[in-house]
Every structure is written in C-alpha cells, then in structure tokens.
Amino acid sequence: MSTELPITDVSNEVSASGCGCGCTDAELPALDVRPIPHALRHGAVFGALSALRPGSAMVLIAPHDPKPLLAQIAEREGDAVEVTYLVEGPDAWQLRLARR
C-alpha cells in the first residue's frame, strides 16, 4: 500500500523570503548571534544576508559593536547592504541590515 503524498512544484513561486513556501514575516526577522559559537557567527550572518532579497531587511543582535563584521560585509557586499544602528549596547547591539 503506497502512502505517497502529492508533491507540488513551487520553485517558480518565490515569496519575499525567497524560499517559495509562501510564508512571510510580520516583523523584521532577527538573528541573535549571541548564543552562536564565535567561530560560526560571521558565517551565520553571511548566510542570513544571502537570503535577503532586494528591499528586504533583518535585525542583527550582537554582544558587542560588530565593527569587524561590518567591515567584512562592506568588503563582500559593497554598498548593497545598508546598516542602521537601532540599539547601541551595553548588553546587546541591534542593527538593521537592509539589502538595497
């Protein structure tokens, strides 16, 4: 007895999130890197940035002012990512990263 479920191709139905699932975020998605091991943090942020479509944004929450990370983002992305500080410490920094 087969229990196969029908599969619908949604590869051409890309939502604002870029994944095609049809889900949307009511608020800006936030990436809190504080619990992520330091060796993986920058990679996690680069991965999240790569998922942003032009005109979309995310909030980055970091345990310190992420100036070295911002320099790497500028080197990789040029002016394609706009950075706005929302909260500047002391316990956490929150930045809005928007893809132009």
Q: Mind listing the pLDDT tens digit for each residue in 46-99?
A: 999 999 999 999 999 999 999 999 999 999 999 999 999 999 999 999 999 999
Answering whether pTM is above 0.85, one says: no
Q: In 52-93, which residue ranges form alpha helices assigned H by DSSP?
A: 67-77
Is the peptide bond between 29 and the residue preceding it cis, with omega within 30 degrees of 0?
Answer: no
Instruction: Answer whether 14's CB lies under 8 Å from 24's CB.
Output: no
Q: At what angle do helices 67-77 and 38-51 cross, to 10 degrees?
A: 40
In a domain, 84, yes or no: yes
Q: Mind listing the pLDDT tens digit for each residue in 4-61?
A: 666 655 545 454 455 667 777 678 999 999 999 999 999 999 999 999 999 999 999 9
In a domain, 60, yes or no: yes
* CA distances (Å), origin 27, targets 7, 23, 98: 30, 12, 13
In a domain, 3, yes or no: no
In a domain, 71, yes or no: yes
Q: Please give the pLDDT value at position 28.
A: 92
In a domain, 2, yes or no: no
Q: Please give the pLDDT value at position 12.
A: 52
Q: Please give the pLDDT value at position 26.
A: 73
Q: Which domain covers residue 74, as residue numbers?
A: 30-99
Q: Please give the pLDDT value at position 7.
A: 63
| CATH number (domain holding residue 52) | 3.30.110.40
Beta strands in the chain (DSSP E): 30-32, 57-62, 81-88, 93-99
In a domain, 15, yes or no: no
* Tally of domains in the chain: 1
